[in-house]
Structure 1
C-alpha cells in the first residue's frame, strides 16, 4: 500500500503499519476523536519516521476550485462503471438508531443507507 486515505485512530495506525516506505496519507477527518475523547488519532510515530511517510491534512473547502471537474469525472466514471459504489443498506425506520451508531463504530462498508420504504 503506497497511498492510503483513512479516518484516523486505529484504522490509521493499522494503515501506517502496513504502508510502504515513502507512502502518503491524506487526512480529512478523525471521527474517532470527534466521538470519543479517550481515543487518539495519531499513528505510531516511529513508523512515520522510519518509512518516511507523508501525512497531509486538508479541508474539503480547499478543493472547491476543482469540484466541478471532480463531479463531472465522477459521474462519467459511475455511468461507465469504471467506478462502482458500495452501499450498506439497513431497512425500516426502526433500524435508524443502530445504523447511525454503527457509523461511529466502523460497522458499515461504503455508503450507509437506511431504506424506510419501497419506491
Structure 2
C-alpha cells in the first residue's frame, strides 16, 4: 500500500481490481496488476520521476509502465477520477461503486465492439 500512497502523492489514484480489493476487504480475486489514473487534469506522467522506489521501463506523455514486487504497474494519465467519484479507505482514495461499475461497463462494451468487428481481443 505504500506505493499506492506514494502514487497518490504525485497525482495518480488506484483504480480497477486493486481499488476493489482495497475498498472491499472480502474481495475474492487476487490482483495481477495495479492500474492508476489521474487525480485531475494537472496530473502529469513527469511527476512519476519524483518517486524513488520505482523505475518505469516505459514512459511517454500519456502512459507509463513498470513492474514492482512482481506486479505490473500501469499509469494512464488521460483517464481522470474526479474527486466527486472517490472516497477514502485506509488513507487511500478509491473510486466509488458507481464509478467502478461505469468503468467495467465501458470495458465490456469495448470488448463487445472489438468482438463484433472481428478484431483481436487483448489478453
Name the structure where helix makes up a greater proportion of residues: 1
The answer to whether the superposition gives a TM-score over 0.5 is: no
TM-score by length of 2: 0.26
Name the structure where strand makes up a greater proportion of residues: 2
TM-score by length of 1: 0.26
Bigger relative contact order, structure 1 or 2, given CA contacts below 8 A and separation 6+?
Answer: 2
